[in-house]
Amino acid sequence: MALLQISEPGESTAPHQHRLAAGIDLGTTNSLVASVRSGVTDTLPDKDARHLLPSVVRYRADAAPVVGYDALAAATEDPLNTIASVKRLMGRGVEDVKTLAEHLPYEFVPGSSGMPLLHTAGGDVSPVEVSAEILRTLKTRAEESLGGELAGVVVTVPAYFDDAQRQATKDAARLAGLNVLRLLNEPTAAAVAYGLDQGGDGITAIYDLGGGTFDVSILRLNKGVFEVMSTAGDTALGGDDLDRLVADWIMQQAGMQAGASHVDMRRLMLAARTAKEALSEQTSTTVVLELDGTANWTGELTRDRLDELIAPLVEKTLGPCRRALRDAGIRAGDVQSVVMVGGSTRIPLVRERVAGFFKTEPMVDIDPDRVVAVGAAIQADILAGNKPDSEMLLLDVIPLSLGIETMGGLSEKIIQRNSTIPTARAQEFTTFKDGQTAMSLHVVQGERELVDDCRSLARFELRGIPPMVAGAARIKVTFQVDADGLLSVTAEEQTQGVTSGIDVKPSYGLSDNEIETMLRDSMDSAAGDRDLRRLREEQVEADRVLEALHSALASDADELLGDAERKSIDAAAQALAAVRRGDDYREIKRAIAAVEQASSGYVERRMNSSIRSAMAGHKVDEFNAP
C-alpha cells in the first residue's frame, strides 16, 4: 500500500524548491540579464556595477573571445574582428548579408546551408556562435550573482522575428549551455514588466524601437491575461539606422571622403551615436570627429537639425503601427496606453510622434533599456515553477503568415499572420507518380503572393511514403507552430497509417546535425561522449515522467482510474524506475514509451478534467460573490 502523505489543506505535496531562473534580453546594441530575487525583479550588474552588456564580441588569434565593454573599446581599432550588432545577421542568408554588408565592416565567407560566416582572427564564426558568446557571458554573470546553476531562462526576440531568426536565437542559447524555457516577444515582455494587466480590461500598444529592430504590438490586458491582438514591425529598422543618418550628415559637414577606412567609419558611427544620445537631454551638442591623418573636425548639431534628419525614419515606424491597428480591428483612439521600449525612444521627436499618433502620452517610467529583461525575468520565474499560484497567461501570435509553395511559384497560405499560438493546420497531399515514396515541401514566411517575394523558411522532405498508384496516397501533413513561434512538421499517410520521416533543411540555419556537432565540440571531453549525454537526457526525462505520474496519481487516481488501468500504469512505472538506475539509454527510452502508452488515456482525461474545472471555476466564484 502506498504511504499516505499528510499535508496542509490547500498545499501541494510537491516540494517548493526555488529554481534559479533568469530573463535575457539579447539586444542588437546591448544585452541584459535579470532575475526575480525575494520578490524583487531587477537586472544583474557586472562586477563594475554596469547592467548593460554591449552586444559586442572581439575575436583574437590564440586567445578566448572578449565580450562587452572591453570588446567595444577595441571596436574602433580592430573593426574586422570586433563583431557588433550580430542580431542583424541572425537567421539571415548570404544574399541578405550582401545588402547589409554595405554598412558592416566585416569579412563574410559562405558557410554551409546558406548561412554566412564571419571571417575573424579567431576563425570563421557563424552569427549563432557570436550570439552564444554573449549569452555565455550573461549566464556566468547570472550564476555568479544568484549563487547557483540556472534551471532555465526566458530569452526575448523581436515580435517580428521570423522562424529562421527565432531558431537561430534558440540555437545560440543551446550552444551557450542554456535551457530555454520560452522565447518571448520583446513587446510582450515589456507589457509584463509594466504589469498593466492589473488595471482591468484595457488595450495597450507597445512601441519598441531597439538598436536594429522595430516592433509594435497591440495587446488586450485583463486580470493576468496578456492577449496579443496583433503585431507588426520591421526587423531592419532601429537606432543604428538613425545613427547612420546623423553619420551621413557629419560626413558631409566634415568633408569626409567616401571609401574611408573601417577604423574611420567606426569612429564616425560612434560620434554620430554620441551626438544623437546627447540631444535627448540637450538642444545642441558639439560633435568631435577624430580621423586618421587629418586634424580633428568639430561641429555643432542642434536638436532641430537632428529632427529634420531622422523624421523620415520615424515616420516609417508609423506604417507598421497602422497595420497593427488594422489587424487588431481597432482605431488609434481605442488604445488606452502606450509603452515605449528601447533606448531610441528617449529621443524627444520619437515620443512626440508616437504620442500624436496614438493620442495618448506614452509610459516611460521603467528604464526603456531594461524593461524587456525585467519582463522576461518575471515570466522565467513563473515558468521555472516558482509561482505555482500565478494566474498570468501570455497569449502571443505568429507575426507572419506561413505558406507552402505550389504550382507556378505561388505561396498558398496555411497559417495566417496574427494567429494566436500554438496553432496548427493540416493539409492533405497526394503523389503524382506511381510508386512515389518521397515528397518535398517548401515552406515560406510572408504576406506576398509569390514565393520569391517571401522568406524561404525550409524544405521539408518526407520519406517513407508507402508506394502506391499515383494519386492514391493521402498524406496528411500537419504544420504546428509552438508557443515559441517555431514551426514543426509531421506527416502521416492516412490509408495505411504510416508516419513519414521528415528531413528538415533550413534555408538560413543550422541543421540538427550541425548543431549536434557544435554542441559536441563546445563541451569538454569528459561530458562530450554522445552516449553519455543521451543517457543523462533519458534519465532526466524518466525522472520527470515518474514525478509527474506520482503527483497525478496522488491527486486524482481515485476519480479517474479504474483498477485494471491503475495496475498497468504501476507496472510500467516500476519497470521504468528499475531501468532508470541502469546505463542503457535505449532501455530507458523504451520504458518511458511503455509508461506513456499505459497512461495515455489517464493523462488525457486529467487534462480534460482540468479544463472543465477551470471553466466551471468561474461559475463557483460568481455564486459565492458577496
Partner 1 sequence: MAADHSTTHFQRFDLPQSFDVDAALLDERYRDSQRAVHPDRFVNASDQERRLSMQQATLLNEGYRILKDPLRRGRYLLELQGYRFDDEHHTTSDTAFLMEQMELREALGEVREADDAFAVLGEIMERIDGDLDQLLGELRQQLDSGAAADLQQAADCLTRMQFFRKLQDEAMELEVELEDELA
**557 contacts partner 1 (rule: CB under 8 A):** no
Q: Kindly identify the residues of this chain, within the stretch 147-176, that bind partner 1 according to CB under 8 A.
A: 152
**Spatial separation of the C-alpha atoms in residues 592 and 596, rounded to whole Å:** 6
| CA 88 to chain CA centroid, nearest Å | 14
For partner 1, which is the closer residue by CB, 278 or 395?
395
**480 contacts partner 1 (rule: CB under 8 A):** yes
**182 contacts partner 1 (rule: CB under 8 A):** yes
**615 contacts partner 1 (rule: CB under 8 A):** yes
By the 8 A CB rule, do 192 and 392 touch? yes
Stretch that binds partner 1, among 1-9, 211-219, 319-327, 557-565 (CB under 8 A): 319-327
Report in angstroms the alpha-carbon separations of 325 from 62, 317, 318. 52, 13, 11
**50 contacts partner 1 (rule: CB under 8 A):** no
**Spatial separation of the C-alpha atoms in residues 173 and 139, rounded to whole Å:** 10
273 Cβ contact list (under 8 Å, min separation 6): 239, 243, 246
The count of residues interacting with partner 1 (CB under 8 A) is 50
| Catalytic machinery residues | 25, 87, 186, 208
Stretch that binds partner 1, among 3-11, 92-100, 393-401, 569-577 (CB under 8 A): 393-401
**Spatial separation of the C-alpha atoms in residues 106 and 167, rounded to whole Å:** 23
For partner 1, which is the closer residue by CB, 169 or 599?
599
* Options 12, 112, 617, 620; binder of partner 1; rule CB under 8 A: 617
Q: What is the grid cell recorded at 326?
A: 488594422
**Spatial separation of the C-alpha atoms in residues 568 and 572, rounded to whole Å:** 6
For partner 1, which is the closer residue by CB, 355 or 603?
603
**Spatial separation of the C-alpha atoms in residues 458 and 403, rounded to whole Å:** 11
Edge to edge, the sheet with strand 439-445 lists 410-415, 402-406, 439-445, 455-463, 501-506
* Options 421, 441, 444, 487; binder of partner 1; rule CB under 8 A: 421
By the 8 A CB rule, do 368 and 339 touch? no
**383 contacts partner 1 (rule: CB under 8 A):** yes
**394 contacts partner 1 (rule: CB under 8 A):** yes
**545 contacts partner 1 (rule: CB under 8 A):** yes
**322 contacts partner 1 (rule: CB under 8 A):** yes
Of 244, 301, 289, 299, residue with least CA distance to 263: 289
Minimum Å gap between C-beta 608 and partner 1 is 7
**Spatial separation of the C-alpha atoms in residues 175 and 90, rounded to whole Å:** 14
For partner 1, which is the closer residue by CB, 132 or 325?
325
Q: CA geometry: angle at 376 spanning 36 and 447, to 5°? A: 175
**422 contacts partner 1 (rule: CB under 8 A):** yes
Stretch that binds partner 1, among 44-52, 97-105, 191-199, 610-618 (CB under 8 A): 610-618
**331 contacts partner 1 (rule: CB under 8 A):** no
**Spatial separation of the C-alpha atoms in residues 466 and 483, rounded to whole Å:** 33
**618 contacts partner 1 (rule: CB under 8 A):** yes
By the 8 A CB rule, do 120 and 109 touch? no
182 Cβ contact list (under 8 Å, min separation 6): 154, 155, 379, 380, 383, 483, 484
Q: Kindly identify the residues of this chain, within the stretch 580-609, that bind partner 1 according to CB under 8 A.
A: 592, 596, 599-600, 603-604, 607-608
**544 contacts partner 1 (rule: CB under 8 A):** yes
For partner 1, which is the closer residue by CB, 299 or 422?
422
Please report, as ranges, the residues that interact with partner 1 according to CB under 8 A: 152, 181-182, 222, 225, 227, 315, 318-319, 322-323, 326, 379, 382-385, 391, 393-395, 419-424, 480, 482-483, 541, 544-545, 548, 592, 596, 599-600, 603-604, 607-608, 610-615, 617-618
